[in-house]
Amino acid sequence: ETHYAYVAIEQCHGGRLSALAEPDAAMYWRSLGANNDQFLLYAFPASNSDDGDAVAELRSRAVRIADLHLGIARTPNDLDYPRWVPVPIVDDQFCVHTAATWDDCLRAVAGFMGQGSLVQGSEGEGRRAGPLWRVHVFAAITGAPEAVGPATVVVLQISHALGDGRRVSDLARRLLSDEKSEHRDRDASMLPSATGVGIVADIAAAMVGVATVLPRLAAATVVGLLAWRSEQPPAGLPVIEATPLNLPADGAVELRTITVSRDGLRRYGPSVTVSVMAVLAHVLAGVGGATSEGQVVAEVTLARPPTVRRRNNFHTVAVDLHAEAEVADRAGLIGDQIERAQRRDGTTARRLERKAAGLVPAVLDSLAVRLGRRAPLPTHVAGATVVSSVNRGPADLMLGGRRVLFTAGFPALSPVHGLTHGVHGIGDRITVSIAATGHAAAVVDDYARAVAAALRR
């Protein structure tokens, strides 16, 4: 099974160790203390074959995808960045679940989100490399959106260290495609060598990390000063007072989805993301998402142009949804903010800031992540909720000879975000996915109905 991965590894990487890029390592370290795994859901009409046929089909595709053979080896005491290492694909990564209805399926996925991350579950203290993904299969589900009969639902649970929303959506596309030829990752330099495993490799990586602490600090300082002198753009995100949606959230996770046509959203704004945000603005104010002054602000993830080494390559911006404006005007105001944020992110100063961050020694980066987990909850936040949007391409994915109906995704909840939104499109269907806990979970049904009514108006 590991033949495809090892061939790609030895041909593309020449036997060298491959360390995670700084943003990917940060995602990995965060996953040791919280579940930031991604959950990509795809629904298909149920076929006449049994569950074992679906699993066999998925497994036969998985062995041809080099990224799905990757694990992560943590350097002792985080003296250097973690390394990519090869791991085998095992039976436990394909899980068939019993669920009768669509609501049962969503409850099961919500339960996965409330558990530990794959890294926590497979690595204990994070030293031993284990699988970074798992497939959940729900067969013969009734009541699934867009389905005229029973549906088969496939959920890819995958570590955020393996990639951002775009990259893991590309992985899911390969996993759910009938393409039989071996795929070579477009970012082949990320593949590790089989020699990068074991005690000797741990010691070597630690020694390299110790030796490079001072040079990396010096380089990061120089580049940081260049960034400061270049433009001095506003640092960080604007902040608002915490809303009821940002209060500490305990209790179960609740998930809801709304699927609509792509064409139906075009009357609201120039893009799917802007259209959905324009619709959410007024509804969020009704469930505690507004400040005392009536301002509704969302944190929105925006993709950056692909780079060679970074698998997580996006930034987050705070966007005022202008709940006081008419929908048509609101869409223009939201779009303008996003455009300005993208231009700002492409400036020389911002590029140098990212380069400086990538030069920080691993031990300090890891410490910052741990301290962040222990920090008191803030009284001010960048947004009342989170919106993440990915176009997952044409609706040509297949399972059991059946074409995909729709796709959904659920951005992770956090101690300061009790409500998140995923906006995912495939073909002409767009699904708005809602994940809620705490205060937001108590009102999620009313909220989902209001969002659905506004999207379909």
pLDDT digits (tens, 9 = 90+) for 89-104: 999 999 999 899 999 9
Q: Are 75 and 83 in contact (CB under 8 A)?
A: yes
Closest CA to 230 of 310, 344, 357: 344
**Whose structure tokens read 């110790």?**
210
**At CA 202, angle to CA 72 and CA 205, rounded to 5?**
90
Residue 408 or residue 74, greater confidence? 408
Q: Say what the pLDDT of residue 189 is.
A: 42
Distances (CA, A) of 314 to 19, 167, 202, 220: 20, 11, 30, 21
What's the rounded Cα separation, in Å, for the pair 385 and 417?
6
**At CA 38, angle to CA 243 and CA 368, rounded to 5?**
65
Tokens, residue 428: 């002409």
pLDDT at 183 over 70: no
What's the rounded Cα separation, in Å, for the pair 452 and 457?
8
What pLDDT digit, counting tens, does each position of 116-146 carry?
Answer: 899 885 544 444 578 999 999 999 899 999 9
Measured in residues, the chain has a length of 457
Tokens, residue 129: 């490399």
Residue 395 or residue 362, greater confidence? 395
Q: Are 231 and 349 in contact (CB under 8 A)?
A: yes
Mean predicted confidence (pLDDT) in 183-212? 54
Distances (CA, A) of 284 to 226, 338, 423: 41, 19, 16
Q: Say what the pLDDT of residue 381 is.
A: 93
Confidence class for position 238, pLDDT limits 50, 70, 90: low
Say which range, 34-48, 269-283, 366-380, has the weakest mean pLDDT: 366-380
Residue 351 or residue 62, greater confidence? 62
Kindly state the DSSP code that residue 78 receives in the 8-state scheme: G
Q: What percent of the chain has pLDDT over 90?
A: 62
Name the pTM for this structure: 0.88
What pLDDT digit, counting tens, does each position of 203-221 carry?
Answer: 666 566 556 655 665 555 6
What pLDDT digit, counting tens, does each position of 7-30 carry?
Answer: 333 333 433 448 999 999 999 999
Q: Are 409 and 40 in contact (CB under 8 A)?
A: yes
Average pLDDT, the chain: 85
What's the rounded Cα separation, in Å, for the pair 448 and 457?
14
Query: Which residues is 299 bridged to in the sheet?
Result: 318, 386
What's the rounded Cα separation, in Å, for the pair 397 and 401?
9
How do 385-391 and 297-303 pair as beta strands? parallel
Tokens, residue 392: 């997952």
What pLDDT digit, counting tens, does each position of 421-437 carry?
Answer: 999 999 999 999 999 99
Confidence class for position 2, pLDDT limits 50, 70, 90: very low
Question: Helix/strand/coil (H, E, C) string of 311-358?
Answer: CCCEEEEEEECCCCCCHHHHHHHHHHHHHHHHHHHCCHHHHHHHHHHH
What's the rounded Cα separation, in Å, for the pair 420 and 185?
30
Q: Are 414 and 429 in contact (CB under 8 A)?
A: no
